[in-house]
Amino acid sequence: MQDKHEFHFSSEFMGRLISEQTVGVIGTGRIGRHAIQLFRGLGAKVIAYDKYPLKSTNGEFEYVDHLEDIFGQSDIISLHMPATQDNFHLFNHEVFEAMKDNAILINTARGSIVNTGDLIFALESGEIAAAGVDTLENESADLQDSRSTKKITDSDLIKLSMMPNVILTPHSAFHTTESVKNMVTISLNNLKVMFTGGRPKDIVG
């Protein structure tokens, strides 16, 4: 539409039914479980990995014993874990080689989990088919400032943005009316609890 001012069916685009895909979810905390519900709602088979698995999956998905099972079996891999030293550059050249060549990687977790240079190579060489990226390595605060008019200079970011098999957003998946409202409300309620000598339920660690 923008490049050619055309708006018609393109034979170059061929979609896939989610109901015929195996989705691998890494991280089954609150956000990961919501993602599982969404994929399941579209009919996908969901497998998952977590260092600290839930006691019950309610039959919604099945855990695999090793990350390698996620890499080798999944048509779509969706990341939902915090950034740690253990998972720094977890997704690198070796992992992309182990993934299906039709696989799609979705990262809405943390940028440091994926080696950006290796991701670009994997997308260019056909090691994987596509990526949806909402968080980047070394992302600046400017990327998360909706009022900023600063030009992007990061070469990897520019390259990803120009690739036809990448959907790239500036860490904005959280930015909904309800989410912003919840952030303010939860923060305010936690402060009120602390001022009255209580312990907020959202403390981590």
Mean pLDDT (whole number) for 188-202: 91
Q: Model confidence at 122, in pLDDT bands (50, 70, 90)?
A: very high
Task: Return the residue matching tokens 């956000």.
Answer: 31
User: Torsion-angle region of residue 98: left (phi > 0), alpha (psi -120 to 50) or beta?
Assistant: alpha
Note if 97 is an active site residue.
Answer: no
Catalytic residue among 33, 80, 110, 127: 110
139 catalytically annotated: yes
Contacts of 41 (CB under 8 A, 6+ apart): none
Please enumerate in sequence order all residues whose Cβ is within 8 A of that of 152, keeping only pairs 6 or more positions apart, or say none. 143, 158, 161
19 phi and psi angles, rounded to 5 deg: -65, -15
Segment 33-58 shows an average pLDDT of 96
Name the catalytic one among 171, 175, 178, 199: 171
CA distance 130 to 71: 14
pTM confidence score: 0.85
User: Does 147 qualify as catalytic in the annotation?
Assistant: no
Q: How far apart are alpha carbons 154 and 145 in whole angstroms?
A: 16
Q: What is the largest CA-CA distance in the chain?
A: 63
- Within 8 A by CB and 6+ apart from 138, the residues are 111, 154
The sheet with strand 130-133 has its strands ordered as: 62-63, 45-49, 22-26, 76-79, 104-107, 130-133, 166-168
Task: Specify the amino acid at residue 9.
Answer: F
The mean pLDDT of 185-191, rounded to a whole number, is 93
From 139, 147, 178, 199, the catalytic residue: 139
The β-bridge partners of 46 are 23
Mean pLDDT of 59-75: 97
Percent of the chain exceeding pLDDT 70 equals 94
User: Which segment of 27-41, 136-150, 176-190 scores lowest on mean pLDDT?
Assistant: 136-150
